[in-house]
A = this chain, B = another copy of it.
Amino acid sequence: MAATRQGPLAGLRVIDLGTMLAGPVACTLLADFGAEVIKVEQPGTGDTLRHIGPFLEGESLFWNVEARNKKSVTLNLKAAEGRELFLQLVRDADAVVENFRPGTLARLGLDYEALKAVNPRIVLLSISGFGQDGPYAGRAGYDRIALAFGGLMHITGFPDRPPVKSGVSIADYQTCLFGALSLMMALYHRDATPAGTGQHIDLALYESVFRFTDVLTVAYDRLGQVRERQGNIGLAGAPGEHFRTRDGRYLILTISNDAMFGRLCKAMGRDELPSMERFSSHDLRWRHIHEINAIVAAWIEGNEVSSVTAALDAHGLAYAIVLSIDEIVADPHYQARGNIETVRHPRLGELRMQGVGPKFSATPAGSIAAAPALGEHTDEILTGLGLDPVKIRMLRTAGIL
């Protein structure tokens, strides 16, 4: 099935030479919005992600989420003929995405200069743990290493516990977003400005983390502050915590001004609090944050979530209940927004997963195509390069495909 993809990027062709997460998912984002993404994989084994669970009937669900909407072509890049076919693909492509260790592409004879020689307008996005140069360029880097080196790990978690990772690989995901954004900026420059050219983009995982550390650097530089972990407490919420209800639900509540605090006290039936000196301003409440949080915690711990939220609603206070996935799947807002889409997989049947977003009014995205089997599109793509079935069979026998 070579259905034309729909969305704002229909017509773009991207070659995905990455493995695992940051590189490949940058491509998936573009595929979600209509780009044709050709994933080039090692014959026999394919992307590492195909071998990471959870599994359903022997197939990686992880792979099936992250590699949706792509085509798969097998090519042995260490063989001369594989390399030559790759360069033929590059000739007709708009962009190539890779996340090998720096230097690997050059050893394969496929660095930016080699790609540029066959297609001067190619955009190459290189994603790596530590970037293409600098003293640590050769180091292995994955999600948690980037969070640790990028400064976010140190400030995440409770002061009396080790720094804590996020529930998903946020360094990888921020990098794939930043990578896709970078590619689109480069392609815009190339195709929508008069003297636009191709180019090489160098993006490090840790840089995608460090870029989004708000005032961490400047507050150290000018105020001497070395930020530490502070759990769920933050300057903007006093009181503010993730409180536990009697029936064991977590409720996020942060109060940032006097009016909100007054309404909260009414909701708690504690009208006397706002007039107490030490709770009479946000700044004073912040100085007594543990005391005021304990008062709110006692109220919330003593009640079921339904009565707490009813009281907060009645007093016009914003809050959030921490949702688990069974609740998300059943939520009417998720349903109304179409956030969960069903993908029809030829062997596994229906797979429900996070849908495509955001919503584009003029160029809406199409439905999601299932992640490809290893080499599913090899014949289609190589035929498009002019190879005949006999030649393709020979290459396959020789282990090139």
Is A232 a contact partner of B165 (Cβ separation < 8 A)?
Answer: yes
Is B134 a contact partner of A217 (Cβ separation < 8 A)?
Answer: no
Known: A203-B358, A216-B325, A339-B210. Is A236-B163 also a contact (CB below 8 A)? no
Asked whether A213 is an interface residue with its Cβ less than 8 Å from the other chain, the reply is: yes
Is A323 a contact partner of B162 (Cβ separation < 8 A)?
Answer: no
In the complex, which of the residues B133, B177, B320, B360 contacts A144, with contact meaning CB atoms closer than 8 Å?
Answer: B320
Nearest B residue to A202, CB-CB: B359
Nearest B residue to A33, CB-CB: B185
Known: A144-B252, A151-B328, A223-B54. Is A62-B214 also a contact (CB below 8 A)? yes
Scoring A130, A184, A318 by chain B CB atoms within 10 A of each residue's CB, the highest score goes to A184
Kindly provide the distance from the CB of A169 to the nearest chain B CB, expressed in whole angstroms.
7
Question: 0/1 per residue, A177-206, Cβ < 8 Å to B?
Answer: 111111011111101110001111111100
A66 CA to B212 CA in the complex, in Å?
9
A21 CA to B177 CA in the complex, in Å?
17
Copies of this chain: 2
Known: A200-B361, A328-B210. Is A56-B163 also a contact (CB below 8 A)? no
In the complex, which of the residues B135, B145, B185 contacts A333, with contact meaning CB atoms closer than 8 Å?
Answer: B135
Using a Cβ–Cβ cut-off of 8 Å, how many residues does chain A contribute to the interface with B? 136
Is A185 a contact partner of B184 (Cβ separation < 8 A)?
Answer: yes
Question: 0/1 per residue, A302-344, Cβ < 8 Å to B?
Answer: 0000000000000000111111111011001100110110000
Is A167 a contact partner of B229 (Cβ separation < 8 A)?
Answer: yes
Is B174 a contact partner of A134 (Cβ separation < 8 A)?
Answer: no
Kindly provide the distance from the CB of A147 to the nearest chain B CB, expressed in whole angstroms.
8
Chain B contacts for A173, CB-based, 8 A: 174, 212
Kindly provide the distance from the CB of A31 to the nearest chain B CB, expressed in whole angstroms.
12
In chain A between 337 and 386, which residues have their CB closer than 8 angstroms to a CB of chain B?
337, 339-340, 348, 351-354, 357-363
A324 CA to B241 CA in the complex, in Å?
24
Is B177 a contact partner of A324 (Cβ separation < 8 A)?
Answer: no
A236 CA to B165 CA in the complex, in Å?
14
Q: Determine, out of A75-83, A153-161, A263-271, A392-400, the stretch whose residues face the partner at the interface.
A: A153-161
Is B170 a contact partner of A207 (Cβ separation < 8 A)?
Answer: no
In the complex, which of the residues B227, B323, B336 contacts A167, with contact meaning CB atoms closer than 8 Å?
Answer: B227
Scoring A29, A133, A152, A221 by chain B CB atoms within 10 A of each residue's CB, the highest score goes to A221
Is A329 a contact partner of B217 (Cβ separation < 8 A)?
Answer: yes
Chain B contacts for A218, CB-based, 8 A: 61, 64-65, 351-353
Is A354 a contact partner of B145 (Cβ separation < 8 A)?
Answer: no
Is A9 a contact partner of B217 (Cβ separation < 8 A)?
Answer: no
Asked whether A52 is an interface residue with its Cβ less than 8 Å from the other chain, the reply is: yes
Known: A153-B252, A236-B52. Is A134-B361 also a contact (CB below 8 A)? no
Chain B contacts for A158, CB-based, 8 A: 158, 161, 164
Known: A8-B189, A144-B254, A227-B167. Is A351-B221 also a contact (CB below 8 A)? yes
Asked whether A244 is an interface residue with its Cβ less than 8 Å from the other chain, the reply is: yes
Is A358 a contact partner of B201 (Cβ separation < 8 A)?
Answer: yes
Chain B contacts for A56, CB-based, 8 A: 222-223
Asked whether A1 is an interface residue with its Cβ less than 8 Å from the other chain, the reply is: no
Chain B contacts for A109, CB-based, 8 A: none
Q: Known pairs A158-B164, A164-B232, A177-B181. 5 more at Cβ < 8 A?
A: A134-B337, A153-B167, A174-B174, A184-B185, A199-B360
Enumerate 26 A-B pairs (CB-CB under 8 Å) in ascending A order: A8-B185, A8-B186, A29-B181, A54-B215, A54-B223, A61-B215, A130-B333, A135-B336, A139-B318, A145-B320, A148-B252, A153-B250, A154-B167, A156-B165, A157-B157, A168-B212, A169-B214, A174-B174, A181-B181, A188-B191, A191-B192, A201-B358, A201-B359, A210-B328, A216-B325, A217-B340
